[in-house]
Structure formats: C-alpha cells, structure tokens
Structure 1
Amino acid sequence: MVALTDLFDSYARQARLFPGLLTVFPPLLTVLAWFPQLLLSNVGTTLLTIAVSCGLLYALGSWARTRGKNIEGSLLKQWGGWPTTLKLRHAGPLNPLTLARYHDFLRQNVPHWLPPMPDEEKANPAKADGAYDSAVIWLKEKTRKRFSLVDKENAQYGFRRNLFGMRPIGIVVCALAAAASILAIYVQTTQFTMSAVWAASSAQKPEVWAATAIDFVALIAWLAVVNDRWVRQAGDQYADALLAACDQLTVKSRAAPRKRKKC
C-alpha cells in the first residue's frame, strides 16, 4: 500500500489534501453511520487501498488546489493585489520606518533591483507593483524551507484558499447529506404524525444523529467561516511572516547606494 507521505509532502497535505478531505468528510460520515458494515468489513480497507493506490486521494488534492487557484484571481482583484505587494507599497499599511528597512534590505540584496520612488509608484502603479512582485519572488526562494514560520503561514494560506475554492461543493454535499439523512428517518414512518416521527427518531442509532449533526455544523462552517475575509487574514499573516524574514536573512556587505541614471 502506498503511504500518504509518498504522495504528499507537509505542505501538500495541509494545503491540498485536507481541503479535499474536509469537503467529502460529512457525506462520507453520513454513509458510514447508515451503513456501518462498510467500515467494519474488509470493504472499507479495500476501498481505501484502492483509493490511495490509484491516486484518487492525489486527484482529490489536485482538484482542491485547482479550484483554489481558479478563485485566487478574483480574490487578488478584490484585494487590489498580493498582500506582500500591498505591504511593500509606499501607500501601504506598513510603518514608514519598517517599510524603509525592508526596501533597503531588498535594494542591497536583490540583484538589479531598486525600490520605486513614491512619485514613481503614484505615476505608474502597475510598474511599481511589478518591481515589488519581483522582489517577493526572490524573497520566497531565499526563505524556502529555511523559515518554519513562513512555511507554516504559507501552508495556512494555501489551505484556506483551496477550502474557499471548494466552498460551493462543500455547501451542496453537506446540505444533501443532511437532507438525505432526515428524509431516510422520515420515510421509515408510515404516517406523518408526531408520535410516528418520534418513534422513528428514537429507533435510530446515536451515530446517525451524530453524523447528521456534523452535516449541519459543517454546513454552518462553510457558510459563516469559509469566506474571502478568512482567506485574506491568512494572506496577510503569510505576507507579514515573509517580509519579516528581511530582518533575519544574512545581509550582504553594505555597498554604496546605487544612483539612478539621469535622463
């Protein structure tokens, strides 16, 4: 049997596989509550082995990532750009002294990079953002696998983004699982009376009601928790951790500031 660690590294498990599993978990739990023999027999083990061996779990994680990347474009348009880019702007939210320190570090270490001046940023925002994006790409490569906090925040952002991408599917499957479970209880009655409903409900095993409750809780979470603000929060936290690495990376020996050529 292929191990999950052979298919997914730490980032892929958290950011890709987990959103996919959380999407299918409530309906799967409902099925197992109604048909526990699937779990108690060798059928469940066989299905899991087939799922892993045939790459179905890998496909699930890849699907979650694809939906997350598809939704990312609209999120960036809504936010006005990457959180790291927004924070590197002169008109951004960072303290001026902190911003100057980050710009100074990047100017000294990123090859052929100069921070846009405030008037340049205002005159050509797209060009300025391109310069900031270039510096961030360099910074990502320098911090990759070296800063645990950056890696954790990056995985957290990927998890929330991909889960947000799976949100429409999660809402539908949770609603269907809960409705199917309630309907299955009802159809066991022969008359639509309170006594019949109570008799049917009392005959159900606790795990059936527990699974149904989880469906409703998951549905509420999809609707109330998983949203663009939740993803943006993770994006800001990742941006803060990534830019803070500027204060920890080894700085090259200070050279004389490069002067801009006069036109």
Structure 2
Amino acid sequence: INFAAQIGSEIGIQADAKNFGTAYSIEEKGEERNEDIQKIALLKYQTDQTIDQISRSLQEKKISAVQFQDTVRTVIETFKTTLRNDYIFRDPKSPASFFALFQQKDGLLYFNVYDPTDVKAFAAVATAYETYYPSSPYTKGIRDISLLGLAAIRREKKARNISSKAEERTIPDLTLIDRNGTPRPLSEVVKENSKVLISFTSYEAEWSPELVKDLRSLYKKYHGTGFEIYEISVDKNTYFWQNAARTLPWITVIDRDGMAPALFNISSLPSFFIFQDGELKRLHSISKL
C-alpha cells in the first residue's frame, strides 16, 4: 500500500487480508493526496492485469504478435494519458504526480524519460518540485532525471539534423539511443570493431524470435574475433522494445522517427548490412556470415 505522509500526521489504513493491495481505505484529516495515489495504484494494477491477459492470449496463440503489440500499445498509452491528464499536468507538485511517473511493470517504467512526450511530464513535475519543495531530496532526483532525458533528446535531434545534411559517406553519420538511454554513434562502433553487422528489425514482427535466435548464434561464434552487432529497432512501442532487448548481449538502439531506414535506403524488414575493411555492403541473408 502506497501513501504519502508528513511528519506529525495521522493516517488510518484499513485493508482486506485477502486483497491487501487493492481492497483498502485510507483516512487522513484534511488531505486528499492519498486518494489520488490509491486511484493511480489501482489503475496501474488493472493495467498490469490487462497486459498479462493479453500476454497469455499470445502464448496460447489466440492472437498474433502484431495484434499483441497493437493491443498492448493501446493499453499502455491509455494508462499514461490518464496519468498525464488527470494527475500530472493537473497538479504537478502533488506527491501523486511524482508517484504516477514511476509506475513500472517487470522492472520497466511505463513512462520513458527518453521519449519526447513522456519527458514533458517529467519536466512538469521537476519544475513544480523545484518551485514548491526546493530542499526536498526528491527534487534533485526528478530534476536530474528530467535533464538527462532532455539532453538525450537534444543530442538525438542534433545528430538527426547533422545526418540529414551530411554528404554521402561510407558509413552514414548515425547516432541513436540504446536501451539504457545512452547515445551510440555507429561511427564509433565501426572504429572499435573489425566487422560490424547492422541489422534493421522490429520486435513486433512474427519473425523476430527466430531472427534473435540466429543473431545470438552469430554473436556467440564471432564476437571474440572483433565482430559486433549494431541492431536498429524501428518499433514505436518503447516499453516492449526495452523489455524484448533487455537480455541481448549486442548493441541495440531504437529509431522512433524512421531516420535510419532512409539513410540506408531500405524498404523492408529485416534488412542487413556488413561493414568490414572500410566498406559497407548490403546482405541478402545472414546465413553466409
């Protein structure tokens, strides 16, 4: 049970033993903030349950991978839209707004500070906390997170502008964000490795699990010889991409704006390129690597 409390306040909590985290009530004189926190917690619980149900349908092959992605994307966006409109932007200085930003499932935050839309919510709360609670330890944390996201987005935008104006080169000037939020320039990757496989993919596709299996085999076989994989995901569902890519040993980045396919002149997925001995070549298949 999540709640906010001030020093000296008195809070009464009654909960059902069988449904402790969902069937409870909070009594606090003159305060409504915990009512909002409870509503957010219950909405998050319902969202988690819905996603789990959709996942079971996928496992039981009742829906396709594409249907799974579309449905999960809609559920997550509905959840985040409600939190943004009903809590965060309505009263960004509220503890409930801070609480809303850090809702997560399976260790992954629903709000992604590297997403241009989500970072606005982080920035709104950070600004409010700096104004109303300048000495709070929470203020520094939310401010640092917001600045980190804004800086990453600016770097990505700058790299995109530079890439669009650059003359044609052996390797396109491309910098994208990896699953940890770190900018990963492709030019640095090819400098540090003797052979780089550039793979364009989508984790929403039905063929994705088989491709990951093949890439794992290649990586295990050749990584010790200077081989690296720079995998570019064009998925729009950041949550699913982070979840799917969390255990991958190679470099995986996301291209939400569709810049990379244009630079490499590709029109279908998956697509592959190999960079070796200063030369970039398109591959029709990775089976002969």
Please state which band the TM-score falls in when normalised by the shorter chain.
under 0.3
Higher strand share: 2
Q: Which has the larger radius of gyration?
A: 1
TM-score (norm 1): 0.24
Higher relative contact order (CA 8 A, sep 6+): 1
TM-score (norm 2): 0.23
Higher helix share: 1
